[in-house]
Each structure stands twice: as C-alpha cells, then as structure tokens.
Amino acid sequence: MIQKIFKQFSTKVIRYPKIIIALVAVITCILALGLPKIQLKMGNDVFVNSHSAVYQNTQKAQAAFGGDNAYLLFTAKHGSVINHETFAAIAAFEKQLHAVPHIVHTTSVISLLNQQLKSTGAAKLANSETLSPAKQQALQTDIMANLSKQAQAKVQQSLLASLTTPQKAQLQAYTLNLLTPTQQMALARQGSTANPAMLLTVPQQVQISQYTYQLLTKPQQAKFAQVMMQYLPNVANMSTPLLQDLIIENGHVNAKLATLLPKNGQHLLVLATLDKADMDSDVELIKALNQTIKHHPIKNVTIRVAGQPAILGNISGEVTTTMAIMLSLAVIMMVIILALVFHVRRRLLSLLFVLIGLIWSFGIMGWFNISLTLATMATLPILIGLGTDFGVQFQNRYEEEYRNQPIVTTVIQKAASTMGPGVGSALIVMICTFLTMYLSKAPLMQ
C-alpha cells in the first residue's frame, strides 16, 4: 500500500517535473519572506508558564517594586570624580538614563545629596555637632560662595535680623576695631549717616562674617542654616570646594557615601532600577544603554555597565553569534564529509534539500509568530544532520538503480518506492520524538 503511494507520487514527479519545481520554488520564496519576522524570545515566560502562581506573583512584585538593578560605574581617568565638572556631566547623563527603556529610577550620590539638602537634615548638616569649628566655618564659607549675590544679600539680612541687641553691639565694636586708619577717617567724614559695612574690604567682610557666626546661639545657627539652604544650588551646580566639604571627611569619603563613591572617590556608582527582570527587557536595555554611552561621553571619565541585566542582555548577541558559527561549521563539516565519503554525482545536492527544509521550517515559524528560544536554536545542527542523511539515502539509492538500469523514469520509481516507506517511517518516528517535548512543563522545551 505504502509502496503504491510512493510509486504514484514518483509518477507525478516524472510527468510534471517543471510544475513541481516551480511550485516548490514559489512556496520557498513565500516562506522565506517569513524569516525576518522570527524573533528570539528570552522572557520569563519562556522558562516558567505564564499562568503559574510564581510567574503571576513575580509580575505583581515587579509592578510594585521594580525589577533588577543595572550598575553604571563612572571611573576618573585621572584623580577623583568629586569635582564640579564631573558631577555636572554625570548629573546630565543621569537625566538621559530616564529616557532609556525599562529604567524607572536612578540612584547616585548626586541624587542622594539633593534629597538630603532638601530635607530637614540640611540644617543639621550645616550645623552638625560632629563637625569641628574650622570644618563648620569652611562649610559655611563655601556655601555662601555658591549663592548668588542676591541670595547672599538676603541671607546676610536674615543673619543681622536674628541678632540680639548685645550681639549687635559686639558686632559693631568688632567691625570698628577692624577698620584701618584710612577707613576710620572716611567713616568720620560721613558723619551720622555712615555705614561701616560699605567701607569694608573683602577679607574684612569674611572676618566679620566668621565673627558674626561665632556670636550666634545654637537656635540662631539652626535658623541661619535653614535660610541659607533655601538658596543652595543643585549638587550638579556646586563648586568643587563645597562638594568636597559635603563628601570628604578627614581626607576620605564619608562612610555613608563610600558605597556610591568606591576607592575614595575614584569611581562613582549609579544604580538604575528596572521595571521588570527578564532577558527580553535586558537585551533592549543594554542596546539602549550602549547607545546612550556612545552619544553622551564624559571627558576624562570611562563608563562601564555591570549587573545581572548586563550579563543577560549580552546573552542574545552571544547566542546568535555562537549559533551562526556552529551552523557554519556544521555546513562545512557536511561538505567535507560528502566530498570525501559520498562518491556519487552531484554529491552536494543533498545540502540543497537541507537549505530548502530550513527555509520552510523557520519561514513557517516567522509567518505564524512562533518565536525562537535557546532550545529551538539548538535544533539547527540536528536538522542539518537529519536532512542531509535523508537526502543522501535517496540520492544514493537513485545512483545505485541508475548504474543497474540507466533509465531515469524507471530509476525514480524504484528509488521512491523502495526508499520512501523506510525514510517516511523514520521521519514519522522523528516527528513523534520531538513532539514529546510538549509534555515538558517548561515553555522553553515546548
């Protein structure tokens, strides 16, 4: 019965060879259009069923708290990153990160300091009991230097307004004592309308500012710090001395910030929190991050990406490259083996059958939106081997019959009727064997 079916099929092949070849060519071309539609799927639903409890719980957790963290390490080529130019550039880069797909939040020493300075802890920072008087005075001076002239005037007015009458008397006496003879004479000429502050030099103004701060009580110092912090610029716009005042303690990075400024400020770490944790998202993320780094370089700073998303995000490219190499090696090996072992005419013809078979298989996957996974990609060498094997068997049988009786029509019928049932049975067994993968609970195997 089976032999009769294959004999009838071979008769059709003999009778309509051009039509059959044309039909196969047309189908192959149509299916080939589906090849660009194939997508490599590497999300969590490839490894775990999307209807399972663990998958659903993971989706809820990621929606509430985000996914993995990607780490961006900014390294100064020379010295430290704790300076105005580098902080300003990194702050601008951090803003660019919010436009990168899947990044929902970033954390860095810059953002943390901005949050701290906007909180009630800002006044404590400027009036911390842990700071030495010299350090505290340096901090106050650098903060004032970072304020605009208008802000400085308002802060000074607030400072003077907070003084008590005895404190004002002490300040006036100290101011008059600082005046040089020339300034004293100028003050005397102005009479009762004289304002000593208008005659002061910059060094004298600094001395009076320091003395005024020393006169303040703790509550007055706290109030003064609050007023001063209202006008403080963003961390990205701060001068290098002020940044060092806020970050450096006894020549080393503050212990609370050391994690984000490794190796005493030689590096700066930015944490990027993602909206989800799966390989598809990581691939998209790493591509976008690399483009952002390429188009927004920072002078004298190298940028590196690390973390689980960086590893998983590069797997897709590595897998694709490896599979391309493996596929090329498989084809080369088959060519070598066929050339050395298979001594018949047109010995490489069976590889053409394999090529057509691959186009049909993966073209159908593209048209029906069947995504590639790591498991399906691994079947490529298997398909090449099996396809070549079946092609060699048919071609070898044809050559044997042709040597015995060189009549093409008779040879085709005998080869098809004798080899068809055996190869067909092997093909059915192979299909059933692969279908057992549907029994797996892992979507990757299905």
pLDDT tens, residue order, the chain (446 aa): 677 777 777 777 778 888 888 998 999 999 999 888 887 777 666 677 777 777 777 777 777 666 788 899 999 998 899 999 999 999 999 999 988 888 888 999 999 888 887 765 445 555 555 556 666 677 777 887 888 888 877 877 887 788 888 888 888 888 888 778 777 777 777 765 556 667 677 777 777 777 877 788 878 777 777 777 777 888 888 899 988 888 888 888 988 889 999 999 999 999 998 887 777 788 888 889 999 999 999 999 999 999 888 887 787 777 778 777 877 887 788 788 877 877 777 777 778 888 888 888 888 888 988 877 777 777 777 777 777 777 777 777 777 777 788 777 777 777 777 777 777 788 888 888 878 777 777 776 66
Report how far residue 130's alpha carbon sits from residue 110's, in angstroms, rounded to the nearest whole number: 22
| pLDDT of 407 | 79
| pLDDT of 13 | 75
| pLDDT of 297 | 92
